Amino acid sequence: MSVYAEFHRRSIEDRDAFWAQQAEWITWQTPPQTICDHSQPPFTRWFAGGTTNLCHNAVDRHLAARADQDALIFVSTEVGIEKTYTYRALHDEVQRMAATLQSLGITTGDRVQIYMPMVPEAVFAMLACTRIGAIHSVVFGGFASGSLASRIEDAEPKLIVSADAGSRGGKVIPYKPLLDEAIRLSRHKPAAVLLVDRGLAPMERVAGRDHDYATLRQQHRDAQVPCVWVDATHTSYTLYTSGTTGKPKGVQRDTGGYAVALAASLPHIFMGKPGETFFCTSDIGWVVGHSYIVYGPLIGGMATILYEGLPTRGLDGEANPAIWWSLVEKYKVSVMFSAPTAVRVLKKQDPAALKQHDVSSLKALFLAGEPLDEPTGRWIADALGVPIIDNYWQTETGWPLMTIANGVEKRASKFGSPGVPMYGFDVRLLDEATGEELTEPGRKGVVVVQGPTPPGFMQTVWRDDARFVKTYWQSIPGREVYSTFDWGVRDADGYYFILGRTDDVINVAGHRLGTREIEEAVSSHPNVAEVAVVGVADALKGQVAMAFIVARDAAGLDDAAARLQLEGEVMRVVDGQLGALARPARVLVVNTLPKTRSGKLLRRAIQAVCEQRDTGDLTTMEDPAALEQIRALMAR
């Protein structure tokens, strides 16, 4: 048995001893009394009776050894700012924010909603909440008023922290009018709003409700706010899953289990060490930002880069596809975490940009958020000359469910696969209809997790235990297992390959095809930079596949004959790899694909346009013109 296989086995079969050892990565005021309480499945309680504090582990405990080390590095190519906070300075700022929250009536257990751009005050607010035992709920900045209102109603915050505006590609996005409208729409009205004025957009203030952070920060400049020690099972935050329809689904996370999971992941998965620099290009509005912009790197004693901007824009506001690599060089980044979509954006830039800076400090580039196709993985690996490590997880899991734990044992990555199950995750493949466990390599099934779920995993759905059980644990007949709602296969070496959502299945003439499988085939054509495949209703076959591609080289594709030639070539590639059944009905060339601001493809919106249905809430869409181009193509 390999070193990692034994490591994983102990995490499942000798759970208490294994996780008691991992719990030593963090600081406890009171040691845990019970390591794993799974007496009421599917609910799992980790480290009950132990008291700790997320902010203490992320900030205070480092002051003795690394007070003057960089902790938070803020880089905004939107407003041309670069500013570094040491652990001592971060400690001071978090205490000022904590005192401000307390002055506005926030105490342990209260909810604070954070609706902010990627600015340091957003991180201060998150850490200040956990410092005093309040529960934060970050909403992705720029969400439309209706979406924000539904989250306000569900979280019922006593206070909302926001700002005048964010910025994207040099375009100012006012937040305050969106927030005011959301509060008007919401049945729940927060008692107070705390505002950071960046000077980007005018703000109308509501007397008695709205407070200026700069003024209150000055009043509390010398504040000393001790950490509130809370039980490990105390809720640290709620985070609403993206794409939720109907009532928002608030993923609820604990304190101790989350701290242990992140602390252990730094050496085991990311090979990160205290004093090094972690650069995660996500947003704090998503779980990756919570775990690996804010809490994970800081708990691990690393510096973390908070980046506001695009991957192709420099600090001077001019086009610069090498900006990320310049930061890697300047701050000696050892661990970088991004998304395949961002790499595909860079893939369309001048390849020379990847060679302008010294990136030798990088141990690896980690990618997550969507499956990494092999052509993109190989391209960035060749361009950077560092290991590319895919990983697979969800808002619900809190940290990677599958990847390669090179910190435990060096193991090769396989392009197209996120890797193997991480320690603590008892992953199985099950037949969706019968619940039968699929153990033979190559059989496609639903990826599930057998309880108890590991530390850092969601506790429940906020204020809705019944929904947690019904949604996640009762979808497979006869089995109480957590469903990821993703199809997967496992090869003979134990590596998993994710084939797409179980609800993204195309049923063509009675044959079930995963859109991800078709996308992989399409993307292997040398002139395909990006692809989205959706199932579209068809009177004869039930559904057919429609593929929308962005060409790597669009020269000459203004000509209809050239587009048809490319379409035929792509279809032949799919025929050759998956068979004629999987061949898309059409392959249409577009300038860009519809995506959210965090880079996720809006496949369901594309499908709705193709079927002439309402697209629903598109407030997180990056470029509305992308969907309009598809609409125009379908109207021909």
The strand pairing partners of 547, in sequence order, are 533, 587
Residue 497 falls inside a structural domain: no
Shared domain for 467 and 531, answered yes or no, is no
On whether the CB atoms of residues 46 and 254 are closer than 8 A, the answer is yes
Task: Indicate if 242 and 297 belong to the same structural domain.
Answer: yes
539 Rama sector, left if φ>0, alpha if ψ -120 to 50, beta otherwise: alpha
The parent domain of residue 558 ranges over: 509-635
Which of residues 434, 449, 483 is at a domain's end?
A: 483
Position 244 pLDDT exceeds 70: no
537 and 427 within one domain: no
For residue 248, what pLDDT band results from cuts at 50, 70 and 90? confident
Residue 581: band (very low, low, confident or very high) from pLDDT cuts 50, 70, 90? confident
Burial of 568 (0-12, 13-18, 19+ CB in 10 A): exposed
pLDDT tens string 512-554 = 677 887 898 899 999 999 999 999 988 777 789 999 999 999 8
DSSP 8-state secondary structure symbol assigned to residue 12:
H
Instruction: Please say if the pLDDT value at position 51 is more than 90.
Output: yes
The 10s digit of each residue's pLDDT in 138-157 is: 998 867 788 899 899 999 99
Q: Using one digit for the tens of pLDDT, what is the confidence trace for 351-397?
A: 788 889 999 999 999 999 777 878 888 889 988 999 999 999 999 99
- The residue type at 360: S
Q: Which of 442, 466, 483 is the last residue before a domain boundary?
A: 483
Phi, psi of 544 (to 5 degrees): -130, 155
Is 180 found in the same domain as 89? yes
Is the pLDDT score of 246 beyond 60? Answer: no
Mutual angle of helices 515-523 and 560-578, in 10-degree steps: 120
Are 534 and 579 within 8 A, CB to CB? no
Q: Which residue has the tokens 């690599």?
A: 325
| 242 and 149 within one domain | yes
- 359 and 406 together in one domain: yes
> Where residue 243 falls among pLDDT bands split at 50, 70, 90?
very low
Q: Does any domain span residue 490?
A: no
Q: Which of 469, 59, 613, 540 is nearest to 300 (CA)?
A: 59
Q: Are 405 and 422 in contact (CB under 8 A)?
A: yes
Contacts of 24 (CB under 8 A, 6+ apart): none
pLDDT at 620: 72
Q: Give the domain CATH number at 556.
A: 3.30.300.30
Query: What number of residues does the chain have?
Result: 636
pLDDT at 517: 79
Q: Are residues 407 and 533 in the same domain?
A: no
If asked whether residues 62 and 172 sit together in one domain, one would say yes
Among 449, 483, 517, give the residue marking a domain's end: 483
pLDDT at 331 > cutoff 70: yes
- C-beta separation of 500 from 487 below 8 A: yes
CA quadruple 266, 3, 13, 443: dihedral sign: positive
Q: How far apart are CA 331 and CA 455, in angstroms?
A: 31
Amino acid 94 reads: V
Residue 335 lies in a domain: yes
* End-to-end Cα distance, the chain: 59
Nearest partner of 286 among 333, 342, 339, judged by Cα: 339
Q: Residues 184, 150: contact at Cβ < 8 Å?
A: no
Structure tokens, 53:
């504090």
Contact 369, 400 (CB under 8 A): no
| Residue 441 three-state SS | coil
Return the pLDDT at 142: 67
| Residue 492 placed within a domain | no
Q: Are 463 and 530 contained in the same domain? A: no
User: What's the whole-model pTM score?
Assistant: 0.87
In a domain, 67, yes or no: yes
**pLDDT (mean) for 465-474:** 95
Whole-number Å distance between alpha carbons of 384 and 346? 12
Annotate 39-68 with DSSP letters as a single string: EETTEEEEEET-EE-HHHHHTGGGHHHHTT
DSSP state letters, 103-168: HTT--TT-EEEEE--SSHHHHHHHHHHHHHT-EEEE--TT--HHHHHHHHHHH--SEEEEESEEEE
For the cut 50, the answer to whether the pLDDT of residue 300 exceeds it is yes
**227 occurs within a structural domain:** yes
Q: How far apart are CA 321 and CA 141, in angstroms?
A: 24
Tell me: pLDDT of 511 over 70. no
Per-residue pLDDT for 342 more than 90? no
Mean of the pLDDT values across residues 88-111?
A: 98
Q: How far apart are CA 212 and CA 192, in angstroms?
A: 11
Question: Does 477 lie in the same domain as 514?
Answer: no
Burial of 615 (0-12, 13-18, 19+ CB in 10 A): middle
Crossing angle for the helix pair 15-22 and 256-268, to the nearest 10 degrees: 80
| Structural domain contains residue 493 | no
- Give pLDDT tens digits for 180-192: 999 999 999 999 9
Closest CA to 481 of 436, 418, 423, 417: 436
pLDDT at 538: 83
The answer to whether residues 472 and 350 belong to one domain is yes
Structurally, the chain folds into a number of domains equal to: 2
Residue type at 85 in one-letter notation: Y
Query: What gap in Å lies between CA 531 and CA 546, rounded to an integer?
Result: 10
- Domain presence at residue 571: yes
Mean pLDDT of 127-134: 98
CATH of the domain at 73: 3.40.50.12780
Per the model's pLDDT, the better-predicted residue between 228 and 319 turns out to be 228
- Alpha-carbon Rg of the chain, whole angstroms? 24
Q: Tens of pLDDT along 24-33?
A: 999 999 999 9
Q: Is the pLDDT score of 197 beyond 50?
A: yes
The DSSP result for 295-344, as a single string, is: IHHHHTT-EEEEEES-TTB-TTSSB-TTHHHHHHHHTTEEEEEE-HHHHH
Average pLDDT over all residues of the chain? 93
Question: How far is the C-alpha of 434 from the C-alpha of 350, rounded, in Å?
Answer: 50
- pLDDT for 245 equals 43
Q: Verify that 418 and 540 share a domain, yes or no.
A: no
DSSP state of 629: H
| pLDDT band of 445, cuts 50, 70, 90 | very high
Do residues 373 and 499 make contact, with C-beta atoms less than 8 angstroms apart? no
Phi, psi values for residue 466, rounded to 5° = -65, -40
Asked whether the predicted pLDDT for residue 263 surpasses 80, the reply is yes
